[in-house]
Amino acid sequence: MDPVRRRERLEALAEEASPARRRLVALALVADRLAEDGIEPILVGGAALEVYTEGGYATGDVDLALPNVPEVDRAFADLGFRKQGRFWVREDLDLLFEAPAPAGLPGETSPRTELAVEGMRVVVIGLEDLLLDRLRAAVHWQSGEDRRWARRLVLLHAGRLDWSYLREKTAAQPAEREELDRLQSETRDR
């Protein structure tokens, strides 16, 4: 998309009533701009969970795996974002993007989900890697909330999960494997 149309589409998001839709279209526009520099942002964290739970989980920000390079700052600036620490903000559009993880994030080489948003491409961390992230938070941080969302992901997507991949990734951690087995067992019991 040419820079003028991209910026106009972003500004038009002020009229978008759905915050989730506003964030997703804004992400597509950011990804489109970053593609000019050969950079592919990967949606992670709560916003990825929001995608996979089809809005069951709601978040207020957009977490991205991005390299920490000047091209990223330039791309966000081109779209009218202000940088505040590791955040890029458009207060007028109620948009907050955060780059919590650098390139090399687990899951960048495993299957990811690609979404088409208004003819643009958005890449989301793979379902299995997002599930592993929540499962690990449940196990290692004793987070009941993350366990609940890991369970929700399993219940929503049990038939498409790559259980072999999940078992391989939890093999070295008995507590993680035990939690995964428990989650898989819950889907069989339904």
- Average the pLDDT over 171-183 and give the result: 96
At residue 168, the 3 state secondary structure works out as: helix
Whether residue 101 has pLDDT greater than 60: yes
pLDDT tens for 140-172 read 999 999 999 999 999 999 999 999 999 999 999
pLDDT tens for 6-37 read 999 999 999 999 999 999 999 999 999 999 99
Judge if 25 and 116 occupy the same domain. Answer: yes
Under 8 Å between Cβ of 162 and 128 = yes
Under 8 Å between Cβ of 110 and 27 = no
Q: Where are the beta strands (DSSP E) in 10-93?
A: 42-44, 62-65, 82-84, 87-90
Query: What per-residue confidence (pLDDT) applies to 111?
Result: 79
For residue 75, give the CATH number of its domain.
3.30.460
Residue 58 corresponds to which tokens in the numbers above?
């709601």
Judge if 118 and 138 occupy the same domain. Answer: no
Find where tokens 């038939």 sit. 159
Question: Angle CA(165)–CA(46)–CA(30) in degrees, nearest 5?
Answer: 100
- CA separation for the pair 177, 12 (Å, rounded): 47
Judge if 148 and 181 occupy the same domain. Answer: yes
HSE-CB of 135 using CA atoms within 13 angstroms: 25
Query: What per-residue confidence (pLDDT) applies to 175?
Result: 97
Under 8 Å between Cβ of 66 and 53 = no
pLDDT tens for 107-140 read 555 678 999 999 999 999 999 999 999 999 999 9
- Domain hosting 144: range is 128-188
Under 8 Å between Cβ of 86 and 98 = yes
Query: What per-residue confidence (pLDDT) applies to 100?
Result: 67
Last residue of a domain, one of 72, 99, 125: 125
